[in-house]
Amino acid sequence: MKAREEYERWLDKLPGSDPLRRELEQIRGREEAIEDRFYQTISFGTAGLRGICGAGTNRMNVLTVGRATRGIADYILSYDRRHPEEELCRRGLVIAYDCRYHSGEFADLAAQILASNGIRVYIFPSLRPTPELSFAIRRLACAAGINLTASHNPKEYNGYKVYWMDGAQISGEISEGMERMIESHDFFEDFRKPADAGREPQEVVILDDRIDREYLAYVTSLYCKNQDALKLDLPMVYTPLNGAGRIPVEILARERGYTNFHLVAEQADPDPEFTTVGYPNPEDPKAFFYAEKLGKELGAAVLIATDPDADRMAIEIPDGQGGYRFLNGNQTGALLIHYLASCRLTQEGTRGEAGAKRPYAMIKSIVTSDFGAAICRAYGIRVYESLTGFKNICGRIPELERKGISYFFGYEESIGCAPGDLVRDKDGVAAAMLLAEMAAYYADQGRSLGQVLENLYQTYGYFTDHPVSIVLKGQEGAARIRRMMAYFRERRFEGFGSLTLAQVIDYREGYGDIPPADVLKYVMEDGSWFALRPSGTEPKLKFYFYTRDASRAIAGAKVCDLSRAVLDLAESVK
């Protein structure tokens, strides 16, 4: 596609009153801006469509959303013709959305296009958490689902997550098939015009609160301890970061009986501007500014945050010096794995290789620390890996079930976890409530989360990690990321810093039971390792550095040495 030609075509096709046309007229003569908006067509990444809102093929707007929806409608209609017994059109599709600009508008547009093409549609009446959408797909026995959300991205972004009938995000043949259908359409078609003239339009069904109640009951079913084992007056602070987590978390905390559970008032209500936080990603400690302020006033034992669509959850705990320290996804995941394993497996009996019951399995991404894996193995829980993203993590659950293996837990380093198998995506609501329970349980024993974490380090070794993202925006940034990946693939290294290289794993052609992906992993002789991969949703090249040692100081020194050596090489690629 030639950006300038496509830009002129859009100006020609769009009516003068269209806000997209007015936006394009404002950049007339600005070749760099035109190139950025039209040099590519926004496409499926780690989690479907995601991009900056605005006019252009490389933006989120009514045309890119409409085209994507029509392609998905085509795929479902085609699937029905090939497998009429599945009745996908009758089973329908459920749509959710978050608080972002245009989310409700995009959701309504998607519903109209699907319904006009003879596909039943269920839609939530207001914003809902991403995990509830995944739950609803399976509970309603729908064929698929769509969520209009950009999750934790800045306010300029929106996104379009697509799910299949198993409740997990699309991947593999399904994703590729939908993308082919999408690419067959022009942006300026009438997407509401039925592909099959003989198919009757469907009514759009507005969901009542039944799914809400059933989702909350599901989260409650994941609890481990009864009220008598919990310190219910433990001071805790929660922030939904102006997103969809507030209502379900408040209801669950109240019903659980927590008497000292506090909401950050400034971040309680939906706000597409994210005025109080800017970048609404709880993986960034700066997102805890207001939570820390309230936590210090209350003497809170834990601060909990979920991102705007409530699929991610992160925490901070007291640092012993009057402030708070952030725990990353590897640390929080290890704490939850230890807590759930010690509660559930000691009650049920061993489910290891020699156990009489079905074995349990934990699934983690290939760029997640081995800390949680070490804890799992100590409890006899099998460990499996997947590519990044919960469409890959939860996508392995059906495969495990066919092998007679029960799902235990799934997580990745970027503060996401799936504590139960009825939600096939990250579930920040369930994670937040289990985290609150864990904090209240250990507090009842006179132990803090910091003390529990330190005990895990002393038992399993000091696992140290250092994630780094190099942000490179635009077309030139994407090209430089490709050059960096090529540089590491083509060079033959003997080691990095003081560490000697033992193994290189290139996932480009797949590795073991892991499908192909643009990921490189370098394992050192002492077990330290690092990986690098381009982000599927943001203009970033991500690096993951990991070391382990019996000494905290030595583990920390090694991760600094390793990351410095690798990043110096990466930055040398221009």
CA–CA distance, 347 with 334 (Å, rounded to integer): 20
Quickly tell me which residue has 């290294």 as its tokens: 493
CA–CA distance, 411 with 373 (Å, rounded to integer): 11
8 Å CB contact between 167 and 135: yes
Query: Which one-letter amino acid corresponds to residue 473?
Result: K
Closest CA to 289 of 23, 298, 280: 280
Q: Phi then psi for 471, rounded to 5 degrees? A: -90, 125
- Residue 188's Cβ-count burial label (10 Å; 0-12, 13-18, 19+) is middle
DSSP string, 93-109: EEEEE-SSTTHHHHHHH
8 Å CB contact between 351 and 398: no
Q: Is 151 an annotated catalytic residue?
A: yes
Q: Angle, nearest 10°, between helix axes 428-444 and 246-256?
A: 30
231: CB partners within 8 A, 6+ apart: 440, 441, 443, 444
DSSP string, 513-563: TBPP-S-EEEEETTS-EEEEEE-SSSSEEEEEEEEEESSHHHHHHHHHHHH
Quickly tell me which residue has 């269920």 as its tokens: 122
SS3 at position 48 = strand
254: CB partners within 8 A, 6+ apart: 261
Q: How far lies 85's CA from each of 81, 89, 122, 166, 203, in Å?
A: 9, 11, 21, 17, 22
The residue count of the chain comes to 574
Closest CA to 275 of 308, 310, 233, 320: 308
CA–CA distance, 443 with 162 (Å, rounded to integer): 40
189: CB partners within 8 A, 6+ apart: 67, 70
CA–CA distance, 52 with 169 (Å, rounded to integer): 21
SS3 at position 445 = coil
DSSP string, 242-265: TSTTHHHHHHHHHHHT-SSEEE-G
Sheet containing 529-534: give its strands across.
Answer: 462-471, 540-549, 529-534, 520-524, 499-506, 495-496
Q: Give residue 34's region: left, alpha or beta (phi > 0; psi -120 to 50).
A: alpha
E strand or H helix at 572: none
105: CB partners within 8 A, 6+ apart: 62
Q: Choose the catalytic residue: 151, 369, 528, 563.
A: 151
Helix ranges (H only) for 289-381 are 289-298, 329-340, 346-348, 371-378
Return the active site residues: 151
